[in-house]
Amino acid sequence: MKKIKVEIKRRLGIWVPTTTIYHWITEGRKPNITPLKIHPELGYVVGTLMSDCMKSTYVVLEVRDRDYAESFTHALSTVTGREYKVREKGGYYIVKTEGATLRYIARNKLWKVVAYAYPKQFLQGLFDGDGGVGVGVRVSSRPGFIVQLTLINSDLKLLEFVKKLLKGLGIESTISLQRKCGTKTTICGRECTINRDCWRLIICRQESIIKFYKYIGFRIQRKQEVLRDAIEVLQRYRSNRDRVRAWKKIYVKRNGRWVKK
């Protein structure tokens, strides 16, 4: 059985538990491989897979936004034909699937093929997971109002690929180092040390931000609403002073996040 396990790993890049192989042999069970349909929602599944999903024995999405978990569940059901449920635990929404096929796609760079086929949905999944809308407000003698879209990931090659994908859609972006390996930071209230360099892709040109909103956007409602309102403020008001005043009428910053009053 160990030889079979090693051979599967060599050929497919997948670790199969020894007990699973035992049941294949002794009970005549078949490998439980979920076929995936060629469908635009596969782009969203793979985009999410490359951002927020844990990829070990199972593929697991564990997030704070219920609409994100529900979007992933809907996309999974569409491409697999199976039903999935969103579980709630400790303020998190969790989706779990036996993801041998998905893990194979991630491990063997087949995600690029999916991304080329369904760029909009792939980018939606990726930005829902690791992306955000940054609105910078400066109140002083020289008021400032800055809107940026960001995508943070430790995989530089992934971000470089995303940059090319965005450019093909007419959206300009830049990449910079956000945190170096060994940097201490706080995540979910706990201090931890970054064990890999962390990179950030930024979209800051107004025309590119508008294109992103029109042609890609977020499926997470709170992110899409902040982006929509920020664009409306940018387009409606000419001076930064008026923009800051208009923004602060509808939003307040709580725990580092802009929320509507």
Best CA proximity match to 71, nearest among 126, 153, 116, 111: 126
The angle at the Cα of 161, spanning 155 to 165, to the nearest 5 degrees, equals: 140
Whole-angstrom Cα distance, residue 189 to residue 151? 21
More confident position, 89 or 190: 89
Best CA proximity match to 24, nearest among 13, 33, 35: 33
**Domains parsed from the chain with CATH numbers:** 32-117 (3.10.28.10), 128-255 (3.10.28.10)
118 Cβ contact list (under 8 Å, min separation 6) = 40, 42, 43, 44
What mean pLDDT, rounded, does the chain reach? 87
- What was the pLDDT predicted at 130? 95
Whole-angstrom Cα distance, residue 155 to residue 135? 25
Whole-angstrom Cα distance, residue 103 to residue 114? 14
Whole-angstrom Cα distance, residue 240 to residue 146? 9
259 Cβ contact list (under 8 Å, min separation 6) = 222, 251, 252, 253
> pLDDT category, 14, cuts 50, 70, 90?
low
Per DSSP, the three-state class of 167 is helix
- Burial of residue 67 (CB within 10 Å: 0-12, 13-18, 19+) is middle
| Six token digits for residue 59 | 């593929």
Return the bridge partners of 252, or none: 259
> pLDDT category, 46, cuts 50, 70, 90?
very high
Best CA proximity match to 203, nearest among 124, 147, 145: 147
Q: 134 pLDDT exceeds 70?
A: yes
What are the tens digits of pLDDT across the range 89-111?
999 999 998 777 888 888 888 89
Amino acid at 121: Q
Give 195's DSSP letter. Answer: -
Global pTM value = 0.84
Q: 26 pLDDT exceeds 70?
A: no
Q: 54 pLDDT exceeds 60?
A: yes
| Six token digits for residue 200 | 């950030």
Which segments of the chain are extended strands (E)?
A: 54-55, 59-63, 87-89, 92-97, 131-138, 144-153, 174-179, 184-187, 190-193, 198-203, 251-254, 257-260
What are the tens digits of pLDDT across the range 196-229?
889 999 999 999 999 999 999 999 999 999 999 9
